A and B are shown apart, each in its own frame.
Chain A
Amino acid sequence: MEKKFERLNIAILALGGQGGGVLADWIQEVARHEGWLAQGTSVPGVAQRTGSTVYYVELVKPDDKGRSPVMAQMPTPGDVDIVIASELMETGRALLRGFSTADRTTLIGSSNRVYSISEKSAMGDGRGSSQKIFDAGRQRSKRFICFDMEEAADKAGSVISSVMFGALAGSGALPFGREAFEHTIRESGIAVSQNLSGFSAGFVAAQIAPALPQVDENPAPVPTTPAGREFEARVRARLPTAAHRNAIHGIARLMDYQDARYAALYLDRLEAVAERDMAPFILTEEAARHLALWMSYEDTVRVADLKIRASRGERVQKEVRVGKEDLLQVTEFMHPRLQEICETMPASIGRAVLNSKFLNRILAPFFQAGRHVETTSLHWFLMLRFVASMRRIRPRSLRYVEEQERIEEWLQKVRLFARNQPELALEVVRCQRLIKGYGDTFDRGLGNFRLIMDHVADGPIGAQDVAKLREAALADDAGTALAGAIGSSSDRNNQPAHQE
């Protein structure tokens, strides 16, 4: 009887520099070593520079007549046995291109994300949904193996290609024993022990159920001081449950940022919103978030305070992977302009300097260049510690006065709309998201926020419109989309008058 023809088609989707080519070579080596024929192809080109690339491998068991099979040069949708992808969206791309099918394909995908430039450069949150890709992977494969290969590689002190190789071996989708795979790694003679440990991590992880990485839930903190306990009791007594988590986080944040009095002001403001809110109290929940964020605006004092904390030093140590015997120097890139300096001063003085052309001309040159601030040196540490200590006089500072005015103006709108147009109130609350950053970024965000608020004040305007304007403000940093959106929104508002 003629032997059944056996061929396994394997597509590898990887990003430039992830070792997709090495993996493709290893797979062919294993197969050849086990007496199979193997062919691999790819179209690296410019994709090597950060783009995504598909490598394609075919393995054929030689037939007893010694005939040469005709091998294809690219994966054909519906004709792929194994897909290995080094990243979650690349796993998605394999699905998009139809390489993985429910009747046939073993889909081995990493759950980690390497964000694309469009996702990274968005002014807000441009990330694609991992969950949707994960669910589709499950539906569109015969077997789905999904774990964080990047993390596995990191833990094993290895690289992602060897973890992928291990996962392939562990999946059992190839008819070769574990030793054959490991033999190939040894034969290659490059970074053997690291590759073997990555391989082993991948092999083990392939046996567990597919899952996305855990997301931190950040539950509300537990109070540690009498003041904290008092605040917590007040939150639980006076605010709807939906807002508890955010409100408690908000209080903790503002006590850290300033003091208990400031936190109390926060609660007063929040309660005034809650009184006008109704179930399901999303408005209060979101107001608790955005009010806390606005009230803890990033001024020079806050930045200095955060930069010199012991916890920050530890975090940097961990993040940049300082060895036990190594020394670490940390340099900050600070660029306080005259404006920021004045904003830290008591309001009357700050305003006087900023309003004086003469003083501006004299002082501005001193605040032109950016400063390299070495926080690990005693000199700069003490300097920043001094700036951080100005927290005590913050409530008298120019910036404080300005921010509280803006916050009140915003809250006034929120309270105004809360009862009759709760959706609109909610969207107004969410516009706080536009105000962020420092220097030019801050000015731009605040400018956009004001444009939208002016538009809201001109009314009438729907909640949807405000949401759209906010999205437009986040579409580009030149304000083009926002200007267009405001233009068309005004046109619409004016239309009914002309229509008849």
Chain B
Amino acid sequence: MNITKKSNKVRSDLLTYAGVMLAFIVLTLLKNNGVLNRSMTGLLVPICCYIVMAVSLNLTVGILGDLSLGHAGFMSVGAFTGIITAMSLADAIPSVALRLALAMVVGAFFAAIMGFLIGIPVLRLKGDYLAIVTLAFGEIIKELITCLIVGSDSNGLHIIFNVTGSKSANDLNLAEGGRIIIKGAQGATGTQTIATFTAGFILIMITLVIVQNLIRSRHGRAIMAVRDNRIAAESVGIPVTRYRMMAFVTSAALAGAAGALFGLNYSNLAAAKFDFNTSILVLVFVVLGGLGNIWGSILATVVLYVLPEALRSFANYRMLIYAIVLILVMLATNNPILKSAVANFRQRFQKNKEEVTEQ
């Protein structure tokens, strides 16, 4: 029984990889043969970023069981550190692919550091307080990045922290041939758009390998034990804080890598893009895909991201419908009558299956 259960899980993991690979191959073929129109090809990279965001947020909300409302903050850190890396090394590293990879690694690294720093205070809290503090950190990150002015020249990076709002890009004192990378509230302007769909696909695969292997490992089981009952987990000797930090930092790092890819997909990007609404959008993907269900997050992201773009007239009602669906899903999944009915159905279904295999 246990062995079949385990192999079922492995099989579902493998199916997820296969599904993503298949989707990538089909979409690449369609794109190269010109079947997809321009607006659809423009969606490919953002979809990849949001998939990584959703899967990484699922690690915090679904697997660890802590509601984070500031996930866009990590994306923002990754995006702007990634843009700075890619733009300032434009002359030093001519290879675009190498620069993109480096930008994503740097983005993930800084987001992980940010995740660790934020995690120290945040993970001492729980429930509603934790959620509101992650929201607060998301807003703080947004406002801090709005104050940044960054440029690079032959002498290296020039960074101004524009607290009073009186400084401008001219105060950077760039040498001849230097370029301005981030202009305060306007955000990053004139970024070389080097993000590619292939890079997005590779990032999704790396994310899936990291998250799925983490969930199936001893650490992952410990994290889920903390989610299900923290006191019980602590009493059997699981170092609760360490495992929560592990999940939180991993999630932040993946969001940072997704942010770097996202940032390098647009020539202009303001810090205001990564606000509370973006965090909620990703949360909607996670909740509708099913908390803790990785495959569900991917599917929900694709469907919910493509649908409103495909049905333009419906776009005005998009957020309204998201909100209603979010409430209904929560009411339905927490309805005791419905819950026991589903459990019954599943039990019967599994019994039938067992009988079949026994015969």
Q: Do A and B bind each other?
A: no
